[in-house]
Amino acid sequence: MTHDLVAVLHPLLTAEASAEAFASGGEPGDLEQAVWLRLLERLESDGPPPDPPGWLRKAVRAEVRRSRRTTRLERPYGGEPADDSGPGPEQHVLAAARYRALRDAVRRLPGRCPRLIEALLSPRDLTYREIAGELGISQGSLGPERSRCLGCLRRLLTPEVAPRDARG
């Protein structure tokens, strides 16, 4: 029964939806879908309409009126759409996880390395002279010490970070 009703009403609905949708500024496919949904709701609650073509025409016009009302009541956003060029939640989570892994690895470094790397990563942006004074070592030995500590850090992070592709 439903299949026969759909087959009979489909050409009429296509024609009605095309005429009404373009006149109201909507999409015919959206209008057709809404009317098919109304028909299914009707079939579940009251059964098939006594005059299917008449019901269909009324349903199309009712959906167009509903669509116009909705369009009239909707207001556009006051400003520009949100800028999606920035990092999303996934990037923030991944960055936080990388930061935690780095900080954990820095804490596992031997000797003076944790203090040296923390000073290098400090948001205060310390100079080599300030770092050397803070750690109590000469400024000249800071470069080699930093190189040794970064090598240790690289070895600690290697199992946790995917290896780089070969260059060249």
Domains plus CATH for the chain? 2-73 (no CATH), 91-157 (1.10.10.10)
Here the tokens at position 15 are 């024609």
- Top-confidence residue, 85 or 33: 33
Which pTM does this prediction carry?
0.45
Q: How confident is the model at residue 68 (pLDDT cuts 50, 70, 90)?
A: confident
Segment 112-132 shows an average pLDDT of: 90
Res 79: pLDDT: 67
Structure confidence by residue, pLDDT tens digits, 17-61: 988 887 777 888 998 999 999 999 988 898 888 899 999 999 999
Residue 165: HSE in the Cβ half-sphere, 13 Å Cα cutoff = 2
Q: How confident is the model at residue 114 (pLDDT cuts 50, 70, 90)?
A: very high
Distance, CA of 129 to chain centre: 45
Q: What are phi and psi of 131, to 5 degrees?
A: -65, -45
Helix axes 113-121, 142-157, angle to 10 degrees: 90
Structure confidence by residue, pLDDT tens digits, 92-111: 999 999 889 889 999 999 99
Q: How confident is the model at residue 157 (pLDDT cuts 50, 70, 90)?
A: confident
Residue with tokens 């990563």: 121
Helix, strand, or coil (residue 78): coil
